[in-house]
Amino acid sequence: MKEKKRIIFHVDMDHFFTAIEEREHPEFRGKPVIVGADPKDGKGRGVVSTCNYSARKFGVRSGMPISKAWKLCPEAVYLPVNYELYTKVSNRIMDILRTFADKFQQWGIDEAFLDVSSKVKDYAEAERLARQIKKEIYEKEGLTCSIGVAPNKLVAKIASDFQKPDGLTIVKTEDVEKFLSSLPVRKLLWVGRKTEQKLKAMKIKTIGDLARFDPAVLTETFGIMGTQLYLMAHGIDRSEVEERNKIKSISREKTFEEDTSNFELVLGTLKKLAKEVHSDVLEENIYFKTVTVKIRYENFETHTHSKTLSFMTNRLEDLKKTAKELLKVYLRPDRKIRLIGVRVSNFVSGKRQKTLA
Ligand code: TTP
Ligand code: MG
């Protein structure tokens, strides 16, 4: 199974939201900084969006309840999420990165894949190019990033995470299997908690364990995903770097001050969230097809429920109506609600929509 020879970069900004905040407020440098929900002296609800490396030393992590972060590190600088600013910086960084690539694919707010196969003839040149990219981002935006260089997206993504922050990890074709073998299987994209547990029960902990496993048994156990897992464990990934519509989804969520079964409040909040999402939809000049609601009960049990409309829309009424319809089935008098969220996805940009019509 010979792969077409390619050289792919994965660029991932270091502690993105907090790095921007530090740049804007040099007085925060050297201190632990946390961006996320208001900690309210430890009583705050909601979560940590991200934190700088100094806060990570205290055990703080993305996605952790803000109240837990407060316990671990009360002395940190706590800041609210300034999406508008981060999006602007992200757009500028993506514009810089795009100029270096034959093919480019933004991946989330602070990551991108670059296919540079025709720009460099070998890994030595690739290294020089990667250093040039890091330098340019630092000079223009004052921010550091980590870059993974590899023959495909899968390995490049794992490599960018290998030495962070300000890292550069190069994995040549002949080194791929060795590089992967000692890493935990969780590093393979798509290996979620459940799969990880199942693999653990089969005594598969590292990617190397997985690569040595009988592929027939993997397919028997996991179906088509078993075959995928086996290929990934050998560092095989043929997916192309391809530009998609820039933003993949727009969402808002709200953690209630107190868990509630006041449905008027819940539906009122849903409307408000829908309105906020909608104003972003208009600003971005996009049309959406899919609406998703998220609900978390007081015991943290979380559900998401989506509906894909048969049409593209940018109308608030469509969003509100669909979101309400989706959420209603989860409103039960015996269950208190902790959080709700609204998301739209499946986008077509407004401009393109016009030409399609
Ligand atoms: P990441 O690249 O996952 O994290 P990071 O850039 O903060 O840190 P690292 O140096 O490890 O790359 O995510 C990019 C941004 O996305 C992050 O700065 C904040 C946001 N984010 C959230 O809001 N919630 C989350 O749970 C995660 C993982 C990220
Ligand atoms: Mg990052």
Per residue in 2-33, pLDDT tens?
545 999 999 999 999 999 999 999 999 999 99
Ligand 1 pocket test: which of 49, 50, 79 has the largest number of ligand atoms within 8 Å of its C-beta? Answer: 50
How close is the Cα of 87 to the center of ligand 1, in Å?
A: 13
Instruction: Choose, from 3, 24, 84, 111, the residue flagged as catalytic.
Output: 111
Q: What percent of the chain has a predicted confidence (pLDDT) above 90?
A: 80
Q: How far is the CA of 88 from the centre of ligand 1 (A)?
A: 16
Q: How many residues does the chain have?
A: 357
Range 307-316 average pLDDT: 85
Q: What is the reported pLDDT for 285?
A: 67
| Beta pairing, strands 168-170 & 145-150 | parallel
What tokens were used for 278?
């909608």
DSSP secondary structure letters along 108-137: SSSEEEEE-TTT-SSHHHHHHHHHHHHHHH
Confidence of residue 352 (pLDDT cuts 50, 70, 90): very low
Q: Report which ligand 1 atom has the smallest distance to the Cα of 164.
A: 10
Three-state DSSP at 123 gives helix
In the prediction, which pLDDT does 191 show? 75
- 16 Cβ inside 6 Å of ligand 1: yes
Closest-CA residue, ligand 1 atom 20, reads: 49
pLDDT at residue number 10: 98
Question: pLDDT value at position 245?
Answer: 56
Q: pLDDT tens digit string along 130-139? A: 999 999 999 9
What are the angstrom distances between the C-alpha of 117 and each of 7, 156, 177?
Answer: 5, 13, 21
Protein residue with least CA distance to atom 27, ligand 1: 62
The H-or-E segment that residue 229 falls in is helix 224-233
CA-nearest residue for atom 12, ligand 1, is: 14
- Kindly give the distance from the C-alpha atom of residue 227 to the centroid of ligand 1, in angstroms, as a whole number: 30
Question: 339: part of which helix (H) or strand (E)?
Answer: strand 337-345
CB of 154 closer than 8 Å to CB of 177: no
* Region of poorest pLDDT, from 38-42, 211-215, 352-356: 352-356
**Amino acid 106: pLDDT:** 86
Mean pLDDT, the chain, rounded, equals: 92
pLDDT at res. 177 = 97
Nearest-angstrom CA–CA distance, 78 and 66: 10
Stretch 323-339: mean pLDDT, rounded?
95
The Å distance, Cα 109 to ligand 1 centre, comes to 9
Q: 133, 42, 52: which is closest to 93 by C-alpha?
A: 133
Query: What domains lie within the chain, and their CATH numbers?
Result: 1-175 (3.30.70.270), 182-237 (1.10.150.20), 249-349 (3.30.1490.100)
Q: Provide the residue type at 1 as one letter.
A: M
Predicted local distance difference test score (pLDDT) of residue 16: 96
pLDDT category at 244 given cuts 50, 70, 90 is: low
350 has a pLDDT exceeding 50? no
Residue 3 to residue 53: CA distance in whole angstroms: 37
Ligand 1 near 136 CB (within 6 A): no
CA-nearest of 164, 104, 109, 102 to 134 is 164
Q: Is 111 a catalytic residue?
A: yes
Helical packing angle, 16-24 and 83-98, nearest 10°: 100
Distance 328 CA to ligand 1 centre (A): 32
Counting ligands in written order, the one closest to the CA of 90 is 1
Nearest Cα residue to 226 out of 197, 199, 205, 187 = 199
CB count within 10 Å of CB 321 equals 13
Point out the least confidently predicted range of 160-164, 233-237, 309-313, 328-332: 309-313
Model confidence at 319: pLDDT above 80: yes
Beta bridge partners of 51: 34
Ligand lying closest to the C-alpha of residue 15: 1
pTM: 0.75
Nearest atom within ligand 1 for CA of residue 51: 7
Cis peptide before 151 (omega within 30 of 0): no
pLDDT of amino acid 246: 63
Using a 6 Å cutoff on CB, does residue 22 contact ligand 1?
Answer: no
